[in-house]
Structure 1
Amino acid sequence: MTEEMELDFTEDLQLSEVMRLRVQSLQQKGQKRQDGERLLLPHEAVYRLDFSEQELTFSHWNVSLKGPGRLSVTGISQLWTPDLTNLMTRQLLEPTGQFWRSAGDPEDAPIKCLEADIQEFGERIAELAKVRKVMYFLFAFKEGAEKDNITCSLVFKKSAEA
């Protein structure tokens, strides 16, 4: 018998702030980013998933978005040590999760997404959960989306242990 487990993405305020300070520091010193470095943009924040169990099978995404806008979720392959390392572009996973609601869409209409991409992305997350206790993500809020109007979680099936 398989049991489901829902994991909520939670904003990592401290890590987002460290990344914002990096951008601010570069601007104040008039310096450029390192070659290949990925800086946090103003409409982005760092989120995390904490895995209490490692043997998971991806089931589906639960995303709600009030009003029009677009949410882009990008996985980060790095085990984070923000005090020692900067985020590099090569550490961003493909595909990204894209979810959106167009202006004029009824509130009860399903959210739009690139289904093949979010399925593949969810499966990659489940694979990484086998070796990770935590995983980090960049959330980008675009086209009017605001983080207060979005909830995002993943549902996994737990592998039944005999």
Structure 2
Amino acid sequence: MDNTDAPSNTMVLKFKEDAALTEMMHLRVSSLQRSGQKRQDGERLLLPNEAIYRLDFPTQELQFSRWYFSLKAYGRTTITGISQHWTPDLTNLMTRQLLEPIGTFWRNAGDPEDSPLKWLEADMQEFGERIAELAKVRKVMYFLFAYKDGAEAANASCSVEFTQ
């Protein structure tokens, strides 16, 4: 995705981990395990390698431009949009609230460390356009990041560029 002719009205928004919400969702898992209860029907529990991130939209009229993703070393990171608006009571995440398509960036263990990341370009384009569409009616959007195959949050950075 070449950006040499990018208009000057671009905006790069960085995904920021919502540590409090991630912790609250991990506590829900611990609480269920301790009490021996089962999750609600359709509830999506957070796994240890997952975290909740957010994008804050300063304006609602955005057009998707491109992704910026860096991953030191190797591994796989998947990003799933969440249709839910979280309320102060931190309602549970339900499977039906996970959006398609998901974004996936990866570098295989056998690849040289300086090799470019891989991703499914059509899915990432559609995903970016979907985010821009949802930004028209939201000031914030939440995402589920999953780190697999050696990827870790400390080694990854993700942002998305929009034009206004």
Normalised by the length of structure 2, the TM-score is: 0.93
Say whether the 8 Å CA contact 2:66–2:161 is kept in structure 1: yes
Q: Identify the range of structure 1 (11-20 vs 104-113) with the bigger mean alpha-carbon deviation.
A: 104-113
SS at match of 1:23: helix
2:67 corresponds to which residue?
Answer: 61
SS at match of 2:87: coil
Q: 1:34 aligns with which of 22, 40, 51?
A: 40
What is the alpha-carbon root mean square deviation over aligned residues?
A: 1.1
SS at match of 2:146: strand
SS at match of 1:25: helix
What is the letter of the counterpart of residue 154 of structure 2? Answer: D
What is the letter of the counterpart of residue 14 of structure 2? Answer: D
Instruction: Specify whether residues 2 and 57 from structure 1 end up closer, same or farther in structure 2 by C-alpha distance, changes over 3 A only.
Output: farther
Instruction: Specify whether residues 84 and 100 from structure 1 end up closer, same or farther in structure 2 by C-alpha distance, changes over 3 A only.
Output: closer
What is the letter of the counterpart of residue 107 of structure 2? Answer: R
For residues 28 and 87 of structure 2, the distance between their equivalents in structure 1, rounded to whole angstroms, comes to 14
1:12-161 → structure 2 map (5 Å cutoff): 12-81=18-87, 83-158=89-164
Q: 2:13 aligns with which of 2, 7, 11?
A: 7
State how many pairs are aligned: 158
Unaligned runs of 5+ in 1: none
For residues 49 and 157 of structure 1, the distance between their equivalents in structure 2, rounded to whole angstroms, comes to 15
For residues 7 and 143 of structure 1, the distance between their equivalents in structure 2, rounded to whole angstroms, comes to 26
Instruction: Specify whether residues 81 and 115 from structure 1 end up closer, same or farther in structure 2 by C-alpha distance, changes over 3 A only.
Output: same
Say whether the 8 Å CA contact 1:101–1:111 is kept in structure 2: yes
Say whether the 8 Å CA contact 1:18–1:82 is kept in structure 2: no
Q: Identify the range of structure 1 (99-108 vs 43-52) with the bigger mean alpha-carbon deviation.
A: 99-108
Unaligned runs of 5+ in 2: 1-6
For residues 90 and 160 of structure 2, the distance between their equivalents in structure 1, rounded to whole angstroms, comes to 30
Say whether the 8 Å CA contact 1:37–1:88 is kept in structure 2: yes
For residues 98 and 140 of structure 1, the distance between their equivalents in structure 2, rounded to whole angstroms, comes to 9
Identical positions, percent: 71
Instruction: Specify whether residues 10 and 142 from structure 1 end up closer, same or farther in structure 2 by C-alpha distance, changes over 3 A only.
Output: same
Say whether the 8 Å CA contact 2:17–2:51 is kept in structure 1: yes
Q: Please give the per-residue CA displacement for 1:2-45, whole angstroms capped at 9, x wherever unaligned.
A: 51100000000000011011101100110000000000000000
